[in-house]
Amino acid sequence: MTIFKKTILAASAAMMLAGSALAAELSTATEKQSYALGASVGHYISNQVYNQTELGVDVNMDLLVEGFVAALKNTSVLSEEQVVDLLNERLVVLNEKRDAVVAKTIQANKEAGEAYLIDNKLKDGVVVTESGLQYQVMTMGNGVKPKAEDVVTVNFVGKLLDGTEFESTYTQNAPARMAVMTLIPGWAEGLQLMPEGSTFRFTLPAALAYGAEGAGAIPPESVLIFDIELAKVEAQKDKVPTMGSMGGMGGMSGH
């Protein structure tokens, strides 16, 4: 538990002692709604303060409460211009802290991914392509291999290196249908290695997945692991939705 959390708990306990009697006396709709409004604002502020202190930017809770009450009573010792200037100064600091955290996360993911790829390629059955894509044949089918312009129907599970599952057609109880040429590089290359009816495990370097940008629940510079079952291959006749437009994981789409 962080220092901030301890401070919040202590402050909350003190306020509860002072306010619990008042809260118990709420009887009219206006009283209850007014209290609920205050609670809602309080929760919002608490979340904002927590996020900022997690970045290492301190908050004086006593002065925060004092400033809040003063603003409600229109008795603030700061002008509106001063408030804006001070908050902008704080925003600069917060952005710098946030950028530092992101940079640290990216570097950690990059190092972990590189180490994993080195170890994984030494495992039995792992094949490494020229691009750096790694794959294992789980089940070899005997159907046709898709081409870039083909449409495929697949079932798949996608995971981060720590085992976190970020997408699965199995949990959605529906396979995904997509055009190969619209997919991220690792998928587009990997699918064309698979005969219809096969199940392969692919390990995608970040450069063949979502790179330094990441996507949704996928952090930047993440190596991704996919178990893909190629259920069907068909020639593209009509426009086919990508994963993103199907409501899936925002996309295996590379466009």
Q: What is the pLDDT of residues 173-192, one digit of tens each?
A: 999 999 999 999 999 999 99
pLDDT at residue 25, rounded to an integer:
83
- Distance separating alpha carbons of residues 117 and 159, to the nearest angstrom: 15
pLDDT at residue 1, rounded to an integer:
34
106 Cα distance to chain centroid: 13
**Residue range 128-136: average pLDDT?**
98
pLDDT at residue 236, rounded to an integer:
74
CA distances (Å), 178 to each of 43, 182, 188, 200, 243, in order? 43, 8, 11, 17, 7
User: Residue 207 belongs to what H/E stretch?
Assistant: none
pLDDT at residue 238, rounded to an integer:
56
**Which domains are seen in the chain, by residue range?**
3-77 (no CATH), 78-255 (3.10.50.40)
Here the tokens at position 174 are: 């529906």
pLDDT at residue 245, rounded to an integer:
33
With a pLDDT cut of 90, the percent of the chain lying above it is 78
